[in-house]
Structure 1
């Protein structure tokens, strides 16, 4: 936990829309995904059923709004990387080492916190190494950011684009040509790599882990795309011009990703090339929309509300696994919830859960306490 620092004179201010979009992204993980199901119970309107279906992961192939939460977070980690570009290739080895050390420390800490979030240590101390789930969401975020950072810090923009194209081509070809059924769970290259190299337990006891080793490579493309977007947003061009190009490129990526999906299925667990294109496309469009509304049109009040979550995203994400927010909200509001008609109770319970978490985040922000990794 660290005290927030004031921006240095002459530094570019951080865009509120980035923290707001990160908070909007996290909002659905913290309990917002239950709002549509609760509204369905209250109103019976079938439209809320369609929205509630989007708040669940795809069974295998396909993509839902909930599938896009994770890649959007990775994309935004890349945006912050692009807003503060470094060119290590021009530095001496002694000047580079502190930056490498900080990046490695961040990667290691995220991997460790991911195991903590997973409760992946099995039966407790003493640890049983075979019972640990080492792969994690936070580990994926750290690895994708680290790989993207190494490319951004050491290559020119043209070389970055070439490296990303070669990585996407190599990933797609090796994944798609592996075995007789390359896009199945058990028959995929992802499963083979995890079973050969990833120790411990896999999520759900399946043949591969959704945050497994091989798909770190394609997830890095989401972070790398975010870095290019951050670089573009930091240019002196008019905001409308920057956002128009971002929206146009995002739309093009969506069309391409959905267009190739009959041959390369959209699959979050395998993190296929088509999934990269679609998730980056949606991420770009959402960022363009949030930047237009908040940074362009001045919708600062709702922006600050979501930024409460985005500014402490790692802390509240960890707390979602370590704190029983449902128990706390029921302790505070249980009597009021139970006094309402049965159809209204799920909605108030969901709102109470979100309110308790927002109150804690507001307290931390008021005292300028932020958990930074």
Structure 2
């Protein structure tokens, strides 16, 4: 296997983190360009690609790291996988609880009760998907993990059809909803749909594991084939086949991020392969690297920068320049909205924060500070 380093993989990971910050932080949720908003239910917008791309990038990174761990023996590998899984999951719980206090209707601060702490979310899903994918890859190896991913996708489809109620692909009929209520409890679930429903729930984590596995397999394939046009062509062909298969499957099993359908997995992995192919062509084959530093600084500290961005925004919501306005809305209303109006101002708010955390990443890289989780 070649030991070549691929800058394009770092850029892809950094681009994904930058996109996560961009779509998570509009100046106002009332003014968001359609491509920067999630699909209401079925379908897929550019924003719906960001999280599965990140899981794909986790798999890419695993393809380099796991072989190093395995050289230390089985016990060391299991310890590393378990430790990292628990650490990322724990960070997710703390992030969900942060800033640990909230404003009451009377204008006083009170501790946020653990009885209402959301258990799942982005980081807990990353943790579970990483841990499960790493164990499957470690024990089943590459071909076995590929087969396991296929089994997971079809088993998930089977579970939704058999245990779903009415329309199994609707919010009300989704089989994962009663499972989350039973195991997590309604008070520990997300309520973005107006009812207790977690888009990062337990059952839909099963197909999400496949995004990591496919990312790992893509990373292994790239390393084995090296920087050749044949490798690049195969990546693009595989990506195109997956997109075609996903669109065919969509006719009976709709592409849907919120319940993370199996067709959605194939669709997002296919697009990830095509995007990665384009990035690799520009960087590895054409040598066009002048634009890459902006994204590599995100890719060198991906989880830390994402956590930092979430912490800063949560602190905005806690700080109140006025009794009826937090710092988040104050910045938008007094700085970005006057500059660009409602829609453009909201976008500029998000773009400013991407640049802000790029500057943090640049400083950390200059100081050789790399936070590994």
Query: How far did 1:346 drift?
Result: 5.9
How far apart, CA to CA, are the structure 2 residues paired with 1:33 and 1:208?
A: 19
- Output one character per residue of 1:317-342: Cα deviation in whole Å (capped at 9) or x when no partner: 111221149769x99xx88x799686
1:117 to 95, 104, 115: 95
Moved more, 264-273 or 26-35: 26-35
Aligned positions of 1:206-355 closer than 5 A: 206-324=195-313, 349-355=349-355
**Superposition CA RMSD, Å:** 3.3
How far apart, CA to CA, are the structure 1 residues paired with 2:227 and 2:18?
A: 30
Query: How far did 1:366 drift?
Result: 0.3
- Output one character per residue of 1:328-361: Cα deviation in whole Å (capped at 9) or x when no partner: 9x99xx88x7996869866665554333222211
Aligned twin of 1:146: 131
1:53 to 29, 34, 37: 34
- Output one character per residue of 1:60-110: Cα deviation in whole Å (capped at 9) or x when no partner: 11111101100000011111222345499x98xx93222211211111111
Q: Is 2:257–2:264's contact at 8 Å kept on the other side of the alignment?
A: yes
Q: Is 1:17–1:287's contact at 8 Å kept on the other side of the alignment?
A: yes
Aligned twin of 1:4: none
Aligned twin of 1:67: 48
Moved more, 185-194 or 125-134: 125-134
Aligned positions of 1:81-160 closer than 5 A: 81-86=62-67, 95-119=73-97, 128-160=113-145
1:363/1:62 CA distance change after superposition, 3 Å: same
Gaps of 5+ in 2: 103-109, 317-326
Query: How far did 1:292 drift?
Result: 1.2
How far apart, CA to CA, are the structure 1 residues paired with 2:299 and 2:259?
A: 27
How far apart, CA to CA, are the structure 2 residues paired with 1:87 and 1:161?
A: 21
- Output one character per residue of 1:135-193: Cα deviation in whole Å (capped at 9) or x when no partner: 01011111111111111111143322322222222111111232322111132111121
Query: How far did 1:13 drift?
Result: 4.7
How far apart, CA to CA, are the structure 2 residues paired with 1:354 and 1:121?
A: 21
Q: Is 2:300–2:370's contact at 8 Å kept on the other side of the alignment?
A: yes
How far apart, CA to CA, are the structure 1 residues paired with 2:285 and 2:67?
A: 27
Query: How far did 1:221 drift?
Result: 0.6
Aligned twin of 1:7: none
How far apart, CA to CA, are the structure 2 residues paired with 1:108 and 1:277?
A: 28
How far apart, CA to CA, are the structure 2 residues paired with 1:339 and 1:175?
A: 48
Q: Is 2:225–2:231's contact at 8 Å kept on the other side of the alignment?
A: no
Q: Is the aligned partner of 1:176 residue 2:145?
A: no
Q: TM-score, normalised by structure 1?
A: 0.82
2:12 to 16, 21, 30: 21
How far apart, CA to CA, are the structure 2 residues paired with 1:134 and 1:340?
A: 39
Moved more, 159-168 or 260-269: 159-168
Q: Is 1:111–1:136's contact at 8 Å kept on the other side of the alignment?
A: no
How far apart, CA to CA, are the structure 1 residues paired with 2:337 and 2:251?
A: 49
Gaps of 5+ in 1: 1-9, 42-48
- Output one character per residue of 1:177-223: Cα deviation in whole Å (capped at 9) or x when no partner: 32322111132111121112124421116343111111111101111
